[in-house]
Structure 1
């Protein structure tokens, strides 16, 4: 198996995060949280797009129509890709300048699950599940840095991490209609000298985790055992997503300077978006956020 890594972006992100592949448009979306940008890349034409947001942005998901769902600093928003307008669905009340929304994913039922984090990594974060009508349910609290959100192919399991715990938790999720039960530790990332950052699931149900502090990406099986570890083309990979025409390309965002003082790349290509080919594994399309769903 021969891997190849290609730098895709022309301009680096300060804090690249949350890549998601749109199979309908054959386009990758991701964010630069510090520069308050949603970015897009059309694989067929090589064209890039940008949408400026009103605040720091932590994560995005595909939504019905020409829209994305986004976790901005103070809440969950719907972003119209035609106009660039961001309309709030759910906002923290009262707003708290000490927290912001971070990692998020659309669950298999079409709701957006997104966690807040302490701006100074204090345990002030909470995990929310938000419907298309803006109804929100708080699932967990006491979170320092919410990351690694993703769902098993059948939606029965939710993976989630507080990065500073250096482990990925697995929750029985099912229909996602009730509160979360106590999780089990699915992956311990301490042996890799890193906390987990972004994560994704492949078609076999294995979880891929960005090991931001060690410059690696690891694949773990359904029992949490390490399957393989690959070196990244940069020192601080932040998040990953499968995409491309056959879902076999692994896109990797990275950090140049997170703005917090905690993550500053020393690599000349830090902050760039990369595509890794030759893994011999395919991903699955992400579910779209159901705007009309309760």
Structure 2
């Protein structure tokens, strides 16, 4: 196994890495700076866009990206122009949209995070379909994270970082409806779960943000390995590269809340190879009108 830095960029709040095989680029966001960036496989930055509000998560779209901004879903075209789609009623308790992924059929799911200090869990998860309609699919969270899908697309993974448990839900590929929640893996002994992805074997790779590790969990819910990384606060992993065998990991230098580091490489992205694992190409969100 080899761990190296990817790009010279140091993010404050790096999140939502997505490999774009069409271009051979890795996209990601720096939430605190309202920024979306892309770099090629060598780490050279190819795009850098700054917007009027924070971008919590992104996915691939037909002509660019689909994004969860602070309080709405939007499309971002290849030149960085934004077309708002829908402003879901996420409620006054939510700070903003946070983690998100495109499902195997091209719908985009993203969850919110709530203001600190609130006792009641007010964060929610929303699903954006190709018609630009948003539907609430889960409630009762404080900080939604770890959204990803099994290789077959019939299971949704989701965590509340503050709860420390990765959940699993049956997921209907035709409708996007969720079945009953199952507690899949309790992370409290190994670190708080942040972003996650799956590989071709159905293993879940999760950023353990508070303990500077990446965890690999079997499809049966057993911890297979724990990987120490050289910088604090790993936030989200994504497989990419030409053979989908590189695990890219965003990290945090200053979340603006509780996570802050003076490590000289804090916020830099990592590229991990030699894991004997390959990722699955992300699906593309295609609007019904194909515009």
Q: Which residue of 1 aligns with 2:103?
A: 107
- Mapped partners of 1:11, 1:265: distance in 2: 16
Q: SS in structure 2 opposite 1:54?
A: coil
Q: Which residue of 1 aligns with 2:236?
A: 239
1:266 positional shift = 3.9
Contact 1:74 1:95 (8 Å CA) reproduced: no
Between 1:246-255 and 1:40-49, the stretch displaced more is: 40-49
- Output one character per residue of 1:177-198: Cα deviation in whole Å (capped at 9) or x when no partner: 1642221111110110x21000
Decide whether aligned partners of structure 1 residues 36 and 206 sit closer, same or farther in structure 2, where only a CA change above 3 A counts: same
1:37 positional shift = 0.3
User: Which 5+ residue runs of structure 1 have no aligned equivalent?
Assistant: none
Q: SS in structure 1 opposite 2:287?
A: coil
- Output one character per residue of 1:81-137: Cα deviation in whole Å (capped at 9) or x when no partner: 22x111111113487374310000001111001111103264221111111221111
1:267 positional shift = 2.2
CA RMSD of aligned residues (A): 1.7
Partner residue of 1:177 out of 163, 175, 178 = 175
- Mapped partners of 2:164, 2:129: distance in 1: 29
Decide whether aligned partners of structure 1 residues 178 and 199 sit closer, same or farther in structure 2, where only a CA change above 3 A counts: closer
- Output one character per residue of 1:52-93: Cα deviation in whole Å (capped at 9) or x when no partner: 12201110000112x1001110111101122x1111111134
Partner residue of 1:289 out of 282, 285, 288 = 285
Please report the TM-score for the alignment, with normalisation by the length of structure 1: 0.93
Please report the TM-score for the alignment, with normalisation by the length of structure 2: 0.94
Decide whether aligned partners of structure 1 residues 207 and 121 sit closer, same or farther in structure 2, where only a CA change above 3 A counts: farther
Q: Which residue of 2 aligns with 1:24?
A: 22
- Mapped partners of 1:292, 1:224: distance in 2: 36
Q: Which residue of 1 aligns with 2:122?
A: 124
Number of equivalent positions: 288
In the alignment, does 2:101 pair up with 1:90? no
Contact 1:89 1:133 (8 Å CA) reproduced: no
Q: Which residue of 2 aligns with 1:64?
A: 62
Contact 1:100 1:119 (8 Å CA) reproduced: no
1:28 positional shift = 0.1
Contact 2:250 2:270 (8 Å CA) reproduced: yes
- Mapped partners of 1:7, 1:48: distance in 2: 17
